Amino acid sequence: MKHYIGIDLGGTEVKIGIINGDGAIVKKEAFKTESTMSGDQLVAYMADCAKKVVTSAGMTMKDITGAGIGSAGLLNPDTGQLRIVVNIPQLNDVFIAPGLAKILGVPAFLDNDVNAMVLGEFYYGAAKGYKDVVAMTLGTGVGGGLIFDGKIYRGAAFTAGEIGHMSIDTDGLYCPCGNYGCLERYIGRDGIIQRCKMYMNKGIETSINNYLENGEVTPRAIAKAAEAGDRLAREVMEETGRILGNALATLVNILNPEVFVIGGGVANAGDLILEPARREMKKRAYTIPAQKAIIVRAALKNDAGIVGSACVAVDKLSA
Ligand SMILES: [Zn+2]
């Protein structure tokens, strides 16, 4: 059976795992990265860590078919070069995939974390068996990944899929991207919290204060209160779902996908958000493509980053 290394590059740590041809994790480990390391040192360190994981799985590099790297930021998947990595600036302009390939002795490929996520869901998750897929991650940011006719769509400058920066209100809230009314400002983590606090400040009765996390209103706290029947919390989740559904309706009309896969921390609220999203999408979109499009939660949970990153290699090597 083939095995692939998945490298999920984060701001302070790198998660490395090995998946088998069924998408199951054979071995995984997280390694802290130091901000004092140079770009080249980081690449060598990651290769070292990957080798450690391979060894602890009882394998050698001969058992590995390829390695995939998923990273936030701007990058070039064709050359394997990171361009702008906000959290790890010393990796700016580093050719990370060729660097790792050279040390590991296997082909290595780079893509952004949301493309990695959609590839993971496409090969081993909720989008398995479909060929026209739109994936979204709902968290601090709102990201998107697109697969058309079984192939990932990256766009002319490899930036396609920025669903979070689709403006849903011409004169809406300012977004740091420079636009106004971006979807992310309304259904990203902060947008949800701000809306919830606005209702709370109006003096509407709520039990949300019983569910705070470290004293803070969070999407998870709101979801817990909503599950317990809190009306304000339910309305915040419902409204989040309606705003999402409105955006999905636009995507249905433009892209006509078979499935929307919704992941990220905020999506853990499940049907509290997805049910109103389904209703709103069906109400607004053209009937025929809306009937075809289903909205489901991402299937890969905690290990989504590792499996998705490995699938960047699976995808390149199975093409
Ligand atoms: Zn924006």
pLDDT 10s digits, 193-230? 999 999 999 999 999 999 999 999 999 999 999 999 99
Mean pLDDT, rounded, for 70-90: 93
Residues 149 and 279 in one domain: yes
Residue 302 pLDDT level (bands cut at 50, 70, 90): confident
Say if CB 180 and CB 194 are below 8 A apart: no
Residues 104 and 186 in one domain: no
Which pLDDT tens digit goes with each residue over 145-180?
999 999 999 999 999 999 999 999 999 999 999 999
Residues 170 and 223 in one domain: yes
Angstrom distance (rounded) from CA 70 to CA 77: 10
Residues 131 and 254 in one domain: yes
Residues 245 and 307 in one domain: no
Which residue matches tokens 């740091």?
176
Mean of per-residue pLDDT scores for the chain: 96
CA 209 to ligand 1 centroid distance, Å: 30
Which pLDDT tens digit goes with each residue over 31-77?
999 889 999 999 999 999 999 999 999 999 999 999 999 999 999 99
Residues 146 and 261 in one domain: yes
Which pLDDT tens digit goes with each residue over 273-294?
999 999 999 999 999 999 999 9
Q: How many domains does the chain contain in total?
A: 2
Question: pTM for this one?
Answer: 0.95
Residues 112 and 161 in one domain: no
Residues 130 and 81 in one domain: no
Say if CB 180 and CB 174 are below 8 A apart: yes
CA 178 to ligand 1 centroid distance, Å: 6
CA 189 to ligand 1 centroid distance, Å: 14
CA 44 to ligand 1 centroid distance, Å: 35
CA 162 to ligand 1 centroid distance, Å: 9
Mean pLDDT, rounded, for 299-317: 95
CA 142 to ligand 1 centroid distance, Å: 10
CA 7 to ligand 1 centroid distance, Å: 28
Query: At 21, which CATH number?
Result: 3.30.420.40
Q: Give the domain range for residue 13.
A: 3-117+303-318
CA 177 to ligand 1 centroid distance, Å: 4
DSSP state of 91: G
Residues 137 and 97 in one domain: no
Angle at which helices 219-227 and 231-255 pack, to 10 degrees?
110
Mean pLDDT, rounded, for 237-248: 98
CA 247 to ligand 1 centroid distance, Å: 14
Angstrom distance (rounded) from CA 264 to CA 188: 10
Q: What is the pLDDT of residue 290?
A: 98
CA 85 to ligand 1 centroid distance, Å: 18
CA 137 to ligand 1 centroid distance, Å: 15
Angstrom distance (rounded) from CA 294 to CA 10: 31
Residues 229 and 88 in one domain: no
CA 72 to ligand 1 centroid distance, Å: 16
Q: What is the pLDDT of residue 118?
A: 97
Q: What is the pLDDT of residue 158?
A: 92
Residue 86 pLDDT level (bands cut at 50, 70, 90): confident
CA 41 to ligand 1 centroid distance, Å: 34
CA 243 to ligand 1 centroid distance, Å: 15
Angle at which helices 219-227 and 271-284 pack, to 10 degrees?
90
At residue 3, the 3 state secondary structure works out as strand
- Asked if the model's pLDDT at residue 319 lies above 80, the reply is no
Residues 90 and 163 in one domain: no
Residues 132 and 20 in one domain: no
- Asked if the model's pLDDT at residue 128 lies above 90, the reply is yes
- Asked if the model's pLDDT at residue 269 lies above 80, the reply is yes
CA 185 to ligand 1 centroid distance, Å: 7
- Asked if the model's pLDDT at residue 301 lies above 90, the reply is no
Angstrom distance (rounded) from CA 260 to CA 251: 10
CA 118 to ligand 1 centroid distance, Å: 21
CA 170 to ligand 1 centroid distance, Å: 12
